[in-house]
Structure 1
Amino acid sequence: MYKVCNDQVGCTESAILAAMDIAIDDGVDVLSLSLGLGSLPFFEDPIAIGAFAAIQNGVFVSCSAANAGPDYATLSNEAPWILTVGASTIDRKIAASAVLGNGAEYAGESLFQPQDFSPTLLPLVYPGANGNLSSGFCLPDSLDDVDVEGKVVVCDIGGGFSSVAKGQVVLDAGGAAMILANPERLGFSTFAVAHVLPAVEVSYLAGLAIKSYINSTTSPNATISFQGTVIGDALAPAVVSFSSRGPSQASPGILKPDIVGPGVNILAAWAISVDNKFPPYNIVSGTSMSCPHLSGIAALLKSAHPDWSPAAIKSAIMTTAHTLNLGGKPILDQRLLPADIFATGAGHVNPNKANDPGLVYDIQPDDYIPYLCGLGYDDREIGILVQKRVRCSGVTVVSEAQLNYPSFSIVLGSTTQDYTRTLTNVGPAEATYVVDLEVPLATGMSVNPSQITFTQVKQKVTFSVEFIPQEKENRGNNSFAQGSLTWIRVSDKHTVRIPISVIFE
């Protein structure tokens, strides 16, 4: 572990670069960075610069996508030589429910699970019912004129104040318990938090229903039921609200994030405080949790396949990803709607399948130079990244979507676009694959050849893909569409899938 941040100056560029250089010199195989600096030109991004040096030395780099979702174009760490990791739920919930006097019950979560909290219904109050936003958020001093003594208090999440701090405000004001209501942007994403009083966080729609109940009766009441750990959520994995979304601002022709992985309510080791007041573990949510999951998977893949390049490992992870949840339905987002491609990337990581991808889309470090020239960077700016002299005038410049990446992200106007990809066989020596297309809305596609045959391991085969614009009327109100290109091995139906995003111009 390399320390790059502190309370005084934060995470300085010099510290990040120094740590990455030292790690490379130390001979590490994988770098895991649970930090990000927003969307930057790659030559100004110390993580992108350090990561390029890492892949030049065969070191895989995994980074957090950031926690600025669900808004689009909120990513950090967008360079194509980095695995950009979004966050998803797991099938474990630390469950609690808000139980109302009318018999309705709304599921939620809480890490604090008191065993002695009475099931007796208590008076229920929403301090924000009078339109006072501060009271609705349960901000400091906002409950001074509200009678919450011995009551269950509904507090809105947000207002620049943490959920735990809201609980302290309620407790200090004499409240007996707290129901935290999600804002619309959080939707159905709830989190297990160590509250200071009996509490439960519920979804946005549940919060609306609870407030409606309060307004419907002169004597609303409620309690909280605590169920402990519950396993087997069929909606998992789902993309969590905070997970940053694409498209990439730094390079729109590269689909980001690449993958999503477990990042909600993750139980892990925690730095021991100076006074040893807290246990050496914690439950935390964030893309800072999902990133190390993928880093560990990359380390396992590197151990199993020491000759694979960082790009080959990334390809194996992406082309084998899940696109369905445990219930066999498409992966959902915080709205309980199918998550789009800018939320999931290739999908949810599938570690076991990643160990045997069959085919990989490989990229060598020098392959990025024509791509960087195509971004419009000048020779000096590219030199900062690749640490050697580059002359774009002597390079065959390629567009972003021409990079041999295990996805497509294109902007489609009125003209047909053609791209190539090269596959490397890392499966059985003799194998035949046929293509299967999920064609994006209002887009035509053709692949040539539509069948490929390998006769040896590490053999490379190139194919071309044509994207053909269709009538604009077919787009409806959609600004983008998504699909996939899958190679299916004839002998055993093994699949190698890459996602496709099409932004309409």
Structure 2
Amino acid sequence: MFPANALVENYPIIYNTTISACNSSELLSEAPFSILICDNMVPFFTQIKQVSMSNQPAAIFISDDPQIFEINIFPYPGVVISPKDAPTLINYAQTVVQPTASIKFQQTFVGTKAAPAVATYTSRGPSPSYPGILKPDVMAPGTLVLASWIPNGYSASIGSNIVLSSDYVTISGTSMACPHASGIAALLKGAHPEWSPAAIRSAMMTTASPIDNTFNQIRDIGLGYEIATPLAMGSGQVDPNRANDPGLIYDATSQDYVKNFTANQILTITRSNSYSCSNTSDLNYPSFIALYTNTTGMVVQTFQRTVTNVGDGATSYTANVIAPTFSVVSVSPDTLVFGKTYEKQNYSLTISYMGDKNGSVTFGSLTWIEENEGHTVRSPIVVSPIINFW
């Protein structure tokens, strides 16, 4: 990882416990000219700063911090290895008479597995401002994305005093993921100009994939590569091709959102207390989150939903439910029959939470499966204790 085409070939490699913390550029500069091995006893970002101010050619960092692989600024020639691989390297450096190593930079590797994975920096749900709606909605590519850049601006550095500029840089963040998702939304609007913003969101959510390119469940880097939950990835990784033909959509109008205000909020805006408010769970959203306060007794919550057939003509769908642990989920009706395109059908989903003394957050899904192996329309389900954000 380095912005320049550095030549680090057949250099001596050194492991010395006196300097292996790599937290002093002065001590490092006194060592023989060689590739340093840096222990993981000091934060990586401290080490990279100190070694970049030394006169050493390169370093091998021992770390399992996943954030290292998401940064776009690496001012010093370096390689990162995991702590489990470190003993082999250290043994080589200490036992071979003249240990050497070479490092090659500016190479591109394609077909990396497993991908995608939820990045450490992305926000997790539920939303503090509105926990009754499951967030996030979807995930999109956002780590080390090659993007255009202002040519006279700072883009990278070499050491502590060489600043580089470029027409392109690799950047990580939700600011990179958002343009991917927005671009997909724009393409869908072009293909389906009659679709509302809610319909476009629905198409993106219900066709997103929770599976990575190894055909396993998407992992969460921030949780040590545990299986990602809907509170981290939403419905999954966006799939623009499938979103263009979702089968069913959960549409919503401005009136749906008005109904979702509280009575006090509507009174403040309209000065009238005659308006009837619906429950949060009745917003026609393509996901479900049930919140509870009692961790031991049964809690029952019912959601009302309306789906619109945007497929080709008459068809039918059957519900397939994966219930969250400690819960029973029922769907009524469990078969939806459509006579034509744009026909709407209603259904209810009821979550009966049986209680869990540990107050666990659990997950499941509802998938509407079309006859004859047609479309699949998937929505995540979350059952969670009410979270106190403040």
- TM-score scaled by structure 1? 0.66
Q: For residue 487 of structure 1, give the secondary structure of its aligned residue in structure 2.
A: strand
Indicate conservation of the 8 Å contact 2:211/2:218, yes or no: yes
1-structure distance, mates of 2:154, 2:312: 57
Q: Which is greater in Rg?
A: 2
The RMSD of aligned alpha carbons is 3.0
**Change over 3 Å in CA distance of 1:248–1:115 after alignment to 2:** same
The SS at the match of 1:317 is helix
Aligned pair partner of 2:256 in 363, 367, 371:
367
Deviation at 1:125, TM superposition (A): 4.8
Identify which of 209, 226, 230 aligns with 1:322. Answer: 209
What are the superposed Cα offsets for residues 158-210 of structure 1, whole Å, 9 maximum, x if unpaired?
86x958xx5453233212212345465x37x61364533321244xxx04653
* Whole-angstrom distance in 1 between the partners of 2:350 and 2:373: 28
Whether 1:493 and 2:337 are equivalent positions in the alignment is no
Judge which range, 279-288 or 301-310, deviates more: 279-288
Question: Following the alignment from structure 2 to structure 1, what is the Cα–Cα distance between the partners of residues 188 and 13?
Answer: 54
CA contact (8 A) 2:310 2:341 kept: yes
Q: Does 1:396 align with 2:276?
A: yes
Q: Which residue number in structure 2 is paired with residue 307 of structure 1?
A: 194
Q: Provide structure 1 residue ranges, at least 5 long, that are not aligned to the other structure.
A: 1-109, 130-134, 384-388
**Aligned mates of 1:356, 1:390 — CA distance in 2:** 43
Match of 1:100 in 2: none
Match of 2:238, SS state, is coil
1:265 aligns with 2:144: yes
- Within the candidate set 351, 361, 367, 2:240 is matched to 351
Equivalent residue for 1:342, pick from 231, 248, 265: 231
Alignment gaps of 5+ in structure 2: 156-163
In structure 2, the CA distance between the partners of 1:208 and 1:395, relative to structure 1 (3 Å rule), is farther
- Between the aligned partners of 1:292 and 1:350, the Cα distance in structure 2 is 14
The alpha-carbon distance between structure 1 residues 125 and 309, as it changes in their structure 2 partners (threshold 3 A), is farther
Deviation by residue 1:417-473 (Cα, 9 ceiling, x = unmatched): 111111011112211011000111110011000001111222111101111122536
Q: Distance in 1 between matches of 2:288 and 2:385?
A: 14
Q: Secondary structure at the match of 1:230?
A: coil
- Whether 1:231 aligns to 2:110 is yes
Instruction: Count residues with an aligned counterpart.
Output: 367
- Equivalents in 2 of 1:469, 1:150: separation in Å? 64
Question: Shift of the alpha carbon at 1:248?
Answer: 1.6
1:240 is displaced (CA, Å) by 1.4
For 1:122, the equivalent position in structure 2 comes to 13
Q: What letter matches 2:252 in structure 1?
A: I
Amino acid at match of 1:292: P
Matching residue of 2:34: 151
**Cα pair 2:33 2:57 within 8 Å, conserved:** yes
CA pair 355-127 structure 1, distance change in 2 beyond 3 A: farther
Q: 1:200 aligns with which of 73, 79, 85?
A: 79
Deviations 1:100-136 (A, max 9, x none): xxxxxxxxxx24363621144411357775xxxxx65
Give the structure, 1 or 2, with the largest relative contact order (CA under 8 Å, sep 6 or more).
1
Note the alpha carbon deviations across 1:297-343, whole angstroms, 9 max, x for none. 01100000011000000000000001111111101121222112211
Match in the other structure for 1:462: 346
Contact 1:248 1:255 in 2 (8 A): yes
Give distance in 2, aligned partners of 1:244 and 1:182. Answer: 23
Name the SS for the 2:255 alignment partner: helix
Distance 1:459 1:179 in 2: 61
* Identity in percent: 32
Pair 1:441-2:321 in alignment: no
The range that moved more, 168-177 or 333-342, is 168-177
